[in-house]
Amino acid sequence: MAPKSESEPGSARLDQLWRRGRELLGVRYAILGGAMSWLSERHLVAAISNAGGFGVIACGAMTPDLLEAEIKATAERTDKPFGVNLITMHPEIEDLMTVCVACGVGHVVLAGGLPRTADIERLKQAGIRVLGFAPALAVARRLVRAGIDGIIVEGAEAGGHIGPVATSVLCQEILPEIDTVPVFVAGGIGRGEAVALYLEMGAAGVQLGTRFVCADECIAHEDFKRAFIRANARDAVPTVQVDPEFPVIPVRALANNGSQRFIAFQHEVIARYRAGELEQKAAQLEIEHFWAGALKRAAIDGDVEEGSLMAGQSVGLVKSEQPTADIIAELVEQATAALERK
């Protein structure tokens, strides 16, 4: 499948709408690959960039040495721009930024918390363009003041760790108010018509994760991919917190045996705390550690019953395995057609 000719009216309109996003990223299509731990590695990242999008390595819990190797391996597979997603709370964040600078990475996405102004400034001084996540308008404004080059607005429909507000509401809150830097929209996007809609609202581009899990180039286990293809949107649900005294950061994933066991496990741990067998901090740690390694068990090892099947609600739009280039071409064709109907 190939995108429509750029001479067609819809294509020209699409180019105009996401021009700022394309220029910031240096790509043909302002479509970022969401940084998915274990999956957004050299193969998928390079495939997204080679197809005209913008691949992003998910550093996650990588050590500096592992990140350096991943960046170099990705650069061997594409000569197109790609970025690195760094978790701001990583204990070696300083060294990870040093690796990005030394490897000549052009873009860094700072995630997992509000990035420090000093970190933004350090990366920018090295010639790196910096993007960050804004879960609210106040955060977006603070990021702009800190010198961020681009903002990603991600709603609750996304997979993995999520906030409480839907993408559509966040976009109404943020897009009309932030025009000094490009804003990218993420969460629940699976078709090009949605891409066109958010661009017309003022976005400069989009970010997709779930849609790329079933890309041919994604290293996800075949059972993990099959679970995505079988799933409906309603199957991707947030983890349940059973007691506000023991907060759980919500994670959206496909419901399975593991998610049911997590509910029972919380009740068991809290009962032990109430009985005086555990201190509160120890009980909280046990709850937080329940999912340790669970994403890898599902995504890489194929344990789709007990592992964590992190997925956004757009999983219902994933119908088959496809080459990455076909996924991006399909999104662009759908967006173009939607704009031509205006």
**pLDDT attached to residue 10:** 80
User: Rounded to whole angstroms, how far apart are CA atoms 31 and 185?
Assistant: 10
**Rounded average pLDDT over 214-229:** 98
User: Rounded to whole angstroms, how far apart are CA atoms 12 and 219?
Assistant: 35
**pLDDT attached to residue 8:** 62
For 168, which DSSP code? Answer: H
User: Rounded to whole angstroms, how far apart are CA atoms 249 and 238?
Assistant: 9
**Mean pLDDT computed over every residue of the chain:** 96
314: region left, alpha or beta (phi > 0 left; psi from -120 to 50 alpha): alpha
- pTM over 0.75, yes/no: yes
Instruction: Round the CA-based radius of gyration of the chain to a whole number and report it.
Output: 20
3-state SS string over 96-153? HHHHHHHCCCCEEEEECCCCCHHHHHHHHHCCCEEEEECCCHHHHHHHHHCCCCEEEE
Q: What is the DSSP string of 204-259?
A: SEEEESGGGTTBTT----HHHHHHHHH--GGGEEEPPPS-TTS----EEEE--HHH
**CB-based contacts of 153: which residues, under 8 Å, 6+ apart?**
133, 134, 140, 167, 170, 171, 174, 175, 183, 184, 185, 186, 187, 203
**pLDDT attached to residue 3:** 55
Residue 226 carries which side chain, given as an amino acid letter?
A: R
* Domain at 9-220+316-340, CATH from 3.30.1600.10, 3.10.450.40, 1.10.579.10, 3.20.20.70: 3.20.20.70
Let me know: does 8 contact 2? Beta carbons within 8 Å. no
Residue 197 carries which side chain, given as an amino acid letter?
A: L
Place 207 in a pLDDT band, splitting at 50, 70 and 90. very high
**pLDDT attached to residue 292:** 87
User: Rounded to whole angstroms, how far apart are CA atoms 98 and 90?
Assistant: 13
Place 2 in a pLDDT band, splitting at 50, 70 and 90. low
Let me know: does 54 contact 72? Beta carbons within 8 Å. no
Residue 272 has pLDDT above 90, yes or no: yes
CA distances from 304 to 40, 113, 156, 301 (A): 19, 29, 23, 9
For 275, which DSSP code? Answer: T
Express each pLDDT in 4-63 by its tens digit.
544 567 899 999 999 999 999 999 999 999 999 999 999 999 999 999 999 999 999 999
Express each pLDDT in 275-332 by its tens digit.
999 999 999 999 999 998 999 999 999 999 999 999 999 999 999 999 999 999 999 9
**Rounded average pLDDT over 201-223:** 98
Q: Higher model confidence: residue 196 or residue 341?
A: 196
Phi and psi at residue 39, in whole multiples of 5°?
-105, -35
Q: Where are the domains of the chain?
A: 9-220+316-340, 232-310
**pLDDT attached to residue 1:** 58
Place 342 in a pLDDT band, splitting at 50, 70 and 90. confident
Place 164 in a pLDDT band, splitting at 50, 70 and 90. very high
